[in-house]
Each structure stands twice: as structure tokens, then as C-alpha cells.
Amino acid sequence: MKLRVYSLAIATMSLFFGVFSNAFAATPVDVDIFNGETATVNSYLFSNGESLVVMDLQRSTDEAKKLSEVIKAKKLPLTHLLISHGHPDHYIGMDWLLKEFPDAKVVVANEDIKKDIIGFSTWMESVGWLDAEPALKPKSDKNPNGFDYENNISVLSGETLSLVGGGELALTTQYLPMEAEHITTVYVEDINGLFTSDFGYNKVHLWMGQGVTNAHVNNWKTQLAELKERYTELNPTVYPGHGAPSDIGLFSAMITYIDDFQKITATAASKEEAMAEMEKRYPEYKEAGFLLKNSVDFHMQH
Ligand SMILES: [Zn+2]
């Protein structure tokens, strides 16, 4: 009898403390996906029920307008806009998003990624590619009203981005140059989710165009194998930069794709033949006309 009273007391106590601690425990971090139409690039909205962080910001202001409606519908304060790497399909939307959410901060994981972004925009302006997105032309003496990359992009210190209200994103940047010179992957423990950015493409042709040399492509393959090994035990959901979520099987599929691409571009009689062969092997893959075409052009002389 005494024992029963004792265990009842413990049960009551744990119920009390359970309720008590729940009142203060953060809601786990969850994710919503925004699929951009342009280049099938993904933005990820992380939320803990109290605040929002968005990863990757789309290739055009038009896409950013759609993304900002999705963010507004969440009815939560947006604190950070995280850009994973210095490619325009992941950052052009920042000008519009900063106008819509002036309290949000654009952040990158290191100084190199900030330099990549500024370098890419400077180059794009020089070849006229920013004429379609004039607000993103870099601020300079010649263009004092241009976009102020230097002051608008902050570099995070440390390898975690904490959400206001609890939960965190674990950032990794120790990668060799591959699809991009520098890249950030994000792991979210609460959902066992690995956000690979452009390390990962799912049923979308890989970008192996301008700047992605054969050495970069080989680095990419090596690191895909390493990533697979590192995450096998955790077996996370893999959220790629382009295409739908998958699992770590995606990494092996990508290695096979890259092997095929290297063999075909080394042996095909013409760029047209290489394109046709890749499209035949990967008929359901998206963006052949842009991503595959630029990749074949860059890796073949004829
Ligand atoms: Zn991309």
C-alpha cells in the first residue's frame, strides 16, 4: 500500500514536471519546401512555431515574390535568409525579400561564400546578365544606387544558426570545390534532414558548366561517396538544391550520372550526340536545355 502511494506520488510529480517542462520546451524545427519554377531550385522554410529562417532565395525577383507570399502566410517573424553558395539561382531573390522583410538578415556561412556572390554578380553585370534584374547590379561609384552586397550580407560566426525560440541548423562548409567553389550543407536534427544545397540534384541535370572543371567534377564524386558514408547510419531525408527530397541513395545515383556524363562527353563525336545520349539515359531529368546543354558545351571542344 505504501509502495502504491509512493508510485502515485511519483506519477503525479512526473506529470506535473512533464507539463511544466513542455511549456518551456521549443517546438521541434520543421520544414516547408518552396519549389521554384526557374531552374527547379528549392527554397527551404525552417520554422519552430515561433520564428522562420529561409534557406536559398531563388533566381529571379518574380520567384521571390511568390516565395514571399508563402513566407507571409506562415505569419511568423522571418529572422534570417541563408544563402548556401554563390550561385545566382540561390540569391537573386534577396533584394525583393529584404524589401518585404526589412527585419530579416541575409547570412552566409563564411567569407568565401560572400566573395563568391559578389564576384558572380560583378561578372554577370559585366556581361549584361543583370539587365533583367537591375536592382541586383552591385553598388559602385558609377552606380551609387546599386545593391549593397557588402553591407547587406553578414557572415555567421560559428557553425550553427539558431532559431529564435529554439532549435538550430548545423552548417558544414568543409568541402573541396565542386559544383560551386564553396558550399554550405545544413543538417537539422529535429527532422533528421540533410539539406545538401547543390551538392545534390534529384532528377534534374547537374550543373557542370562554366567553372566546374573536370577536377571539380571528380571532387564532387569523391565527396558524394564521403557524404554517403558519413550519413549512412543516420539515414536522413536528403533535401537537394534542385529537385524533390530523397534519401542517401541519391548520392550513388548522382555518382553514376557523373560517370556517364564523363564517359559520354569524352567519347561522343559531337555535342549534339552527347546531349542525345544523356537525354536517352536520363529521360525524366529536368533542365536538359539549360543545365545539361551548358555542361556539355563546357566539357566538349566540338
Ligand atoms: Zn543551384
Mind listing the pLDDT tens digit for each residue in 234-254?
999 999 999 999 999 999 999
Tens digit of each residue's pLDDT (9 = 90 or more) over 90-133 = 999 999 999 999 999 999 999 999 999 999 999 999 999 999 99
**By residue range, what is the domain housing residue 128?**
27-173
Distance 87 CA to ligand 1 centre (A): 6
pLDDT, averaged across the chain: 92
Distance 248 CA to ligand 1 centre (A): 19
In a domain, 21, yes or no: no
Q: Is the pLDDT of residue 40 over 60?
A: yes
Distance 107 CA to ligand 1 centre (A): 17
**173, 207, 228 - which closes a domain:** 173
In a domain, 51, yes or no: yes
Neighbours of ion ligand 1 (CB under 5 A): 89, 198, 241
**173, 207, 225 - which closes a domain:** 173
Q: Quick one: angle between helices 214-231 and 249-267, nearest 10? A: 160
Residues 47 and 162 in one domain: yes
Residues 42 and 168 in one domain: yes
- Give me the pLDDT at residue 36, please: 93
Residues 153 and 222 in one domain: no
- Give me the pLDDT at residue 22, please: 46
Tell me if 83 sits within 8 A of 117, measured CB to CB. Answer: yes
CATH of the domain at 57: 3.60.15.10
Distance 180 CA to ligand 1 centre (A): 9
Residues 205 and 270 in one domain: yes
Residues 257 and 149 in one domain: no
- Give me the pLDDT at residue 6, please: 53
Q: Which amino acid is at 190?
A: D
Distance 26 CA to ligand 1 centre (A): 32
d(CA 25, CA 117): 37
State the average pLDDT over residues 203-227: 96
Give 181-246 as a DSSP string.
Answer: SSB-EEEEGGGTEEEEEEEEESSB-----TT--HHHHHHHHHHHHHHHHHHTTT--EEEEEES--B
Residues 161 and 246 in one domain: no
Regarding predicted confidence, which is higher, 6 or 200? Answer: 200
Distance 198 CA to ligand 1 centre (A): 5
Q: In the chain, what are the helix, strand and coil shares in percent, each to the nearest 5?
A: 45, 20, 35
In a domain, 166, yes or no: yes
Distance 196 CA to ligand 1 centre (A): 11
**134, 155, 173 - which closes a domain:** 173
Longest dimension (CA), the chain: 90
Regarding predicted confidence, which is higher, 9 or 286? Answer: 286
In a domain, 97, yes or no: yes
Distance 113 CA to ligand 1 centre (A): 14
In a domain, 295, yes or no: yes
Give 261-287 as a DSSP string.
Answer: HHHHHHH-SSHHHHHHHHHHHSTT-B-
In a domain, 44, yes or no: yes
Residues 203 and 77 in one domain: no
Q: Which of 244, 238, 247, 197 is nearest to 220 (CA)?
A: 197
Number of domains in the chain: 2
